A and B are shown apart, each in its own frame.
Chain A
Amino acid sequence: MADAHELTKTKKSFAAVGIALLVFTVVTVTIGLAPIFDFGPPGPDGMDFVLGLAVATVKASLVALIFMHLNHEKGLIYKILLFTVLFATGLMVLTLFADIDPIREQFDTLQTTRGWLTEKP
Chain B
Amino acid sequence: MSAATAHEHAEAHGGHDDHHEHHDPFWKKYIFSTDHKVIGIQYGFTSLVFLAFGFFLMMVMRWSIAYPDRAVPLLADWPWFQAWLDDGGKVTGDLYNMFGAMHGTIMVFLGIVPLAFGAFGNYVTPLQIGAPDMAFPRLNMASYWLYLLGGALMFVSFFLPSGAAKAGWTNYSPLATTTDLHYGDLFWTGQTQWLVAMALLISSSLLGAVNFICTIINLRCKGMTWMRLPFFVWAMLVTGFLLLLAFPPLEVAAIMQLMDRLAGTSFFVPSGLNVSGMAFDAAGGGSPLLYQHLFWFLAHPEVYVLILPAIAIVAEIIPCNTRKPLWGYKTMVYAVMVLGFLAFIVWAHHMYITGMGPAISTFFQTTTVLISVPSVILITSLLISMWGGSIRFNTPMLFATAFIPMFGIGGLTGLPLAFSLPDLHLHDTYYVIGHFHYVVAPGTIFALFAGIYHWYPKITGRMMSSKLGHLHFWPSLIFMNGIFSPMFFQGMAGFHRRAFDGGKAYEQISQQIFAEPNTFFANIAEMLHVIDADAPLRMIDLNLVTSGSAWLLAVFQVPFIINLFLSVFIGKKVSSDNPWNATTLEWATPTPPPHGNFAKEPVAYRGPYEYSVPGAPRDFTPQFETDPSLTAGSEHDSEPSEEIILSAH
Contacts and interface: CB of A to CB of B under 8 A. Distances in A.
- Judge A-B direct contact (beta carbons within 8 Å): yes
Interface of A: 76, 83-84, 87, 90-91, 94-95, 97-99, 101-105
Contacts of B241: 83
A73 B580 CA distance: 43
Contacts of A98: 289, 293, 348, 351, 354, 356-357, 360
Given A95-B290, A98-B289, A87 B360 contact: no
Nearest to A106: B357
Contact of B360 (A76, A90, A91, A101): A101
Contacts of A102: 357, 359
Nearest to A97: B360
B359 A101 contact: yes
Contact of A103 (B344, B351, B359): B359
20 contacts: A83-B245, A87-B344, A90-B344, A90-B345, A91-B249, A91-B297, A94-B345, A97-B357, A97-B360, A97-B363, A98-B293, A98-B356, A98-B360, A101-B357, A101-B358, A101-B359, A102-B359, A103-B359, A104-B357, A104-B358
A103 B357 contact: yes
A83 B241 CA distance: 10
B363 A87 contact: no
A104 B360 CA distance: 10
A96 to B, nearest CB: 9
Contacts of A94: 293, 345, 348, 360, 363
Contacts of A105: 357
Q: Which of B241, B245, B351 has the most CB of A within 10 A?
A: B245
Interface string B228-249: 0000000000000100010001
B217 interface: yes
Contacts of B217: 76
A105 B287 CA distance: 18
A101 B420 CA distance: 15
Contact of B289 (A83, A91, A99): A99
A98 B354 CA distance: 10
A36 B241 CA distance: 46
Interface string B330-346: 00000000000100110
A97 B359 contact: yes
Contacts of B359: 97, 101-104
Contacts of B287: 99
Nearest to A100: B357
Contacts of A103: 357-359
Interface in B313-355: 341, 344-345, 348, 351, 354
A47 to B, nearest CB: 25
Contacts, number: 47
Chain B at the A interface: mostly helix, strand, loop or mixed? helix
A107 B645 CA distance: 61
Nearest to A104: B357
A87 B348 CA distance: 14
A31 to B, nearest CB: 27
A83 B249 CA distance: 15
Contacts of B351: 98
A89 to B, nearest CB: 11
Contacts of B297: 91
A94 B356 CA distance: 11
Contacts of B360: 94, 97-98, 101
A97 B245 CA distance: 21
A84 B357 contact: no
Contacts of A83: 241, 245, 341
A101 to B, nearest CB: 2
A110 B363 CA distance: 23
Contacts of A104: 357-359
Nearest to A99: B289
10 closest A-B pairs by CB: A101-B357, A104-B357, A103-B359, A95-B293, A87-B344, A103-B358, A97-B360, A98-B356, A98-B360, A101-B359
Interface string B199-222: 000000000000000000100000
Nearest to B362: A103
Nearest to B340: A83
B228 to A, nearest CB: 18
Interface in B134-149: none
A83 B237 CA distance: 14
Contacts of B289: 98-99
Contacts of B293: 91, 94-95, 98
Nearest to B347: A94
B334 to A, nearest CB: 15
B251 to A, nearest CB: 13
Given A94-B363, A98-B360, A101-B357, 9 more contacts: A83-B241, A83-B245, A83-B341, A84-B245, A87-B344, A90-B344, A97-B363, A99-B289, A104-B359
Which residue, A83, A84, A87, has most C-beta atoms of chain B within 10 A? A87
Nearest to B359: A103
Contacts of B348: 94, 98
A105 B249 CA distance: 27
Nearest to A105: B357
Most buried by B among A91, A99, A101: A91
Nearest to B344: A87
Nearest to B354: A98
A94 B363 CA distance: 9
Interface in B438-464: none
